[in-house]
Amino acid sequence: MKKAKPKKKQKIELLQKETKMNTEPERKFGVVVVGVGRAGSVRIRDLRNPHASSAFLNLIGFVSRRELGSIDEVPQISLEDALSSQEVEVAFICSESSSHEDYIRQFLNAGKHVLVEYPMTLSWVAAKDLWELAEQKGKVLHEEHVELLMEEFAFLKKEVVGKDLLKGSLLFTAAPLEEERFGFPAFSGISRLTWLVSLFGELSLVSATLEERKEDQYMKMTVCLETENKSPLTWTEEKAPGLKRNRRLSFHFRSGSLENMPNVGINKNIFLKDQNIFVQKLLGQFSEEELAAEKKRILHCLWLAGEIQKHCCSKQ
């Protein structure tokens, strides 16, 4: 088993990557943003502002199913033009989750690098296939995970390191999402699953249930998971009109407990931080080992989400 890098070494490597980005770019990658909802609008804002990573990217336009003409002087272009243009080298996929797979495949086949908002796809098989396609084409395929760039996650990572977990739970509440557009709750809520996997390692599924009252737009998914050491983790997603977006957690260790999240500060520029990571990948600043570990985690979470969906659907 390989030893984890010391924190000091990790910080030095991160600074080295950031320093390389602060140098004058030898070239700029032409970018098109697909989808201009909340995430797409933030991406356009960050690309237009003078950030270190934005200096390596040239925003050419955006693609939308709506006829918008332009946004803040950024022109709308057709999907066909974005795919065929030699000027476009990168696509930021910020559309509804159900459309991600098709867009990724089209842009990879057109020879473009791809950044996609999570979840990459709504199936493990499709994600595996797309990663193989990206590798065949020699292109970067990056799935955004801004939840791992949040102050809350940084706090949790410090809290759990080196501790022996006895049991834990994570409950997330919010307003309902349309499954046709955003996928089954295990996929639309995959950022919570990613937290658990990133904190406690690969997990196995014990059971999963889904309670629905469609007339009330109510949904509750309860998932029982196990760590490699057989410690139980319960992940619950509850959605209904009027439910506030909230996260409650409880982790019990041999050395004490962590109940709920303290106020650890405001999350600043998390999409920009994700853009920085993507640019570092474009510049070849991530090792094969780092990329393989990230790919393994993402595919594991997508596989788990698919297994949870199968369990829930088989019981309905």
**Structure tokens of 106?**
């089209």
State the catalytic residue, choosing from 101, 117, 143, 237. 117
Q: Is 26 a known active-site residue?
A: no
Q: Which two tokens stand for residue 58?
A: 């040239």
Buried residues in 130-167 as b, exposed as e (16+ CB within 10 A): bbeebeebebbbbbbbbbbbbebbebbeeebeeeebee
Q: Which of 103, 188, 192, 237 is catalytic?
A: 192
Catalytic residue among 97, 103, 118, 237: 118
Whether 218 is catalytic is no
Is 192 catalytic? The answer is: yes
Catalytic residue, chosen from 101, 143, 144, 237, is 144
Residues in Cβ contact with 4 at an 8 Å cutoff, skipping those fewer than 6 apart: none
The one catalytic residue in 95, 188, 191, 231 is 191
Give the active site residue among 18, 96, 147, 226. Answer: 147
Q: Is 103 a catalytic residue?
A: no
Query: Any idea which residues carry the catalytic annotation?
Result: 117-118, 144, 147, 191-192
